[in-house]
Chains A and B, each alone.
Chain A
Amino acid sequence: MNVAIDIRELHKSFGALHVLQGIDLTVDSGEVVCVLGPSGSGKSTLLRCLNRLEEPDSGSILIDGAEITDPEADVDQLRTMIGMVFQQFNLFPHLNVRRNLTVGQTGVLRRKRVEADQVAEDMLERVGLSEKIDEYPIRLSGGQQQRVAIARALSMQPKMMLFDEPTSALDPELVGEVLDVMRSLANDGMTMMVVTHEIGFAMEAADRVVFMDQGVVVEQGPPEQVLSDPSEERTKQFLRMVKDH
């Protein structure tokens, strides 16, 4: 099986704060990996290093075999292969939904307007929001905005998708619709790395669960094992805390 993401000995500090303390992790293509861990454990930083929104201090990251951490790497080109979904959606408020989905296609991938529009329509349909194509983001609910954000990332036809707590900013009743979209993506074989606190989602959708704490991978394995029968004390503690909520 192909390796989509290959992280080796990744270190990252903010000043004196050693946030990532040597991460080794691989994600196979087609695999869905959920990353769990207490707040501040470095999950976002890890994800943001993968497309170099954050500059790693040392170590290497291979994206579909290409080293994105190479100083000579064409980062912009590699980023088009990595879709990213943020906690705060980050839709472009001055552009309507259609333009949100085409601005990267026409500007970066140099697709023709017609083609980009077609892709945008297809992706919107995939997240079930075809009728919102001419709306502006502000007029959408949080759940709809996040689904548009997923469609925007998909419009670049990336090889993998990164999700950073995609449902944490949502009202509880809107979480389901976003998870549904993510589940169907997973079923379609998309390679996904998902930072989340949704244990239920991890349990049913993940091929593998990674538990992080204080900048290291504490344990990883199939969801039934890590979530129901963890071997590390820190994992047990964390799961008790999450389940209490």
Chain B
Amino acid sequence: MTLPASQKVRLYQSAMYLLGALVVLLVALFTDWAKVQRNFFNLDVAADMWPNVVTTAAINTIVYTALSFLLGFVLALLLALMRLSSLRAYRAFAIGYIELFRGLPALITLLFVGYGIPIAFGWRLPGGTLGVGSAGLAIVAGAYMAETIRAGIEAVPRGQSEAARSLGMSKTRTMFTIVLPQAFRIIIPPLTNELVLLIKDTSLFFILGSTPETKELTKFARDFMSSSRNATPLTVAALIYLIITLPLTFLVRRLERSAAKAR
């Protein structure tokens, strides 16, 4: 039997639709919707979380993210400049650092900073969960962002620094007044992506131990789940994460589109 190509495609699509509808129907039939509602969307449990889930947990998540990002950014800038340095030793160090911390799970790095250093030296980074956790995440984020910043610097046309140098500007002045400002414009989208990743990575802070005041969203939800014997706290936490991250990812997509148009 031979069918025209267009008809074949339509037949195939109809079959796929039917298959999908069947799966949805089966899932719907065999799911205990009352149970789902009681355990994942329980308004009483959600009400109990209020207001701490926002005033403590969400705020902590945001503060941890902001500090990690800030520290990570400064570190990344330093690493990117070292990576592009004319001194071989600086380049080698930066490459080593970047490959090391991109190759490790963030959790391992956090454990090193939170427990390895205190065990070895009997000394803890200041600032409690905030200080230790943010430093740990910054060490990791710095490695990723360094590569982003380097790519941004290399994307600035060479004529820009040549024009600056021919005005008599030093290498350093050229970098900070001419190259970096243009590089940052180019890398705002990938840096925002990095920020979104960091928001999610702050959920690893639980490993550092926490008091009621230092819990971030995930830890807060997890503890609330245990005490209430209900999964709704996870749903609430997930929704809050999305409220924070979705506008950012939306922003990234818009920035990327307008950057593509400018090209």
Q: Hey, which bits of chain A sit against chain B, CB under 8 A? A: 51, 53, 76-77, 79-80, 82-84, 86, 88, 90-94, 103-104, 107-109, 149, 152-153, 156
Q: Is B167 an interface residue (CB 8 A)?
A: yes
Extra 16 A-B pairs, beta carbons < 8 Å, given A79-B166, A90-B160: A53-B165, A53-B166, A79-B168, A82-B166, A83-B166, A84-B163, A90-B157, A92-B164, A92-B178, A94-B181, A94-B182, A103-B167, A103-B178, A107-B177, A156-B167, A156-B168
Which of B159, B170, B181 touches A90 (beta carbons < 8 Å)?
B159
Query: Which among B165, B181, B182 has the highest number of chain A CB atoms within 10 Å?
Result: B165
Which of B160, B169, B182 touches A76 (beta carbons < 8 Å)?
B169
**Residues of the A chain whose Cβ atoms lie less than 8 Å from the Cβ of B185:** 94
Q: Is B173 an interface residue (CB 8 A)?
A: yes
The 6 A-B pairs with the shortest beta carbon distances in the complex, nearest first, are A104-B167, A90-B163, A80-B168, A90-B159, A84-B166, A79-B168
Which of B160, B162, B169 touches A104 (beta carbons < 8 Å)?
B169
The answer to whether A51 touches B166 (Cβ under 8 A) is yes
**Residues of the B chain whose Cβ atoms lie less than 8 Å from the Cβ of A79:** 165-168
- For the complex formed, measure the closest distance between the CB of A103 and the CB atoms of chain B, giving whole angstroms: 6
Question: B103-114 vs A: 1/0 string, CB under 8 Å?
Answer: 000000000000
- For the complex formed, measure the closest distance between the CB of B257 and the CB atoms of chain A, giving whole angstroms: 19
**Residues of the B chain whose Cβ atoms lie less than 8 Å from the Cβ of A153:** 166-167
The answer to whether A152 touches B159 (Cβ under 8 A) is no
16 A-B pairs (CB sep. < 8 Å): A51-B166, A76-B170, A80-B168, A88-B159, A90-B159, A90-B160, A90-B162, A103-B167, A108-B167, A108-B168, A108-B169, A108-B173, A109-B168, A153-B166, A156-B167, A156-B168
* Known contacts A86-B162, A90-B160, A103-B177; A152 and B167 CB within 8 A of each other: yes
- For the complex formed, measure the closest distance between the CB of A77 and the CB atoms of chain B, giving whole angstroms: 7
A80 to B178, alpha carbons, bound, how many Å? Answer: 17
- For the complex formed, measure the closest distance between the CB of A23 and the CB atoms of chain B, giving whole angstroms: 20
When C-beta atoms are compared, the residue in chain A nearest to B173 turns out to be A107
A142 to B144, alpha carbons, bound, how many Å? Answer: 38
Query: Which among A76, A86, A109 has the highest number of chain B CB atoms within 10 Å?
Result: A76
The answer to whether A92 touches B160 (Cβ under 8 A) is yes
A226 to B241, alpha carbons, bound, how many Å? Answer: 74
A153 to B167, alpha carbons, bound, how many Å? Answer: 7
Which of A80, A86, A107, A109 touches B163 (beta carbons < 8 Å)?
A86
The answer to whether A53 touches B162 (Cβ under 8 A) is yes
**Residues of the B chain whose Cβ atoms lie less than 8 Å from the Cβ of A107:** 169, 173, 177
**Residues of the B chain whose Cβ atoms lie less than 8 Å from the Cβ of A109:** 168
A115 to B173, alpha carbons, bound, how many Å? Answer: 21
Question: B164-201 vs A: 1/0 string, CB under 8 Å?
Answer: 11111110010001100110010000000000000000
When C-beta atoms are compared, the residue in chain B nearest to A74 turns out to be B168
A203 to B166, alpha carbons, bound, how many Å? Answer: 28
When C-beta atoms are compared, the residue in chain B nearest to A162 turns out to be B166
The answer to whether A92 touches B168 (Cβ under 8 A) is no
**Residues of the B chain whose Cβ atoms lie less than 8 Å from the Cβ of A104:** 164, 167-169
**Residues of the B chain whose Cβ atoms lie less than 8 Å from the Cβ of A77:** 168
**Residues of the A chain whose Cβ atoms lie less than 8 Å from the Cβ of B181:** 94
When C-beta atoms are compared, the residue in chain A nearest to B167 turns out to be A104
Query: Which among A53, A77, A153, A156 has the highest number of chain B CB atoms within 10 Å?
Result: A53
A90 to B166, alpha carbons, bound, how many Å? Answer: 11
- For the complex formed, measure the closest distance between the CB of B184 and the CB atoms of chain A, giving whole angstroms: 9
When C-beta atoms are compared, the residue in chain B nearest to A138 turns out to be B262
A103 to B165, alpha carbons, bound, how many Å? Answer: 12
A76 to B173, alpha carbons, bound, how many Å? Answer: 11
A70 to B177, alpha carbons, bound, how many Å? Answer: 28
**Residues of the B chain whose Cβ atoms lie less than 8 Å from the Cβ of A90:** 157, 159-160, 162-163
- For the complex formed, measure the closest distance between the CB of A156 and the CB atoms of chain B, giving whole angstroms: 6
A53 to B160, alpha carbons, bound, how many Å? Answer: 12
**Residues of the A chain whose Cβ atoms lie less than 8 Å from the Cβ of B178:** 92, 103
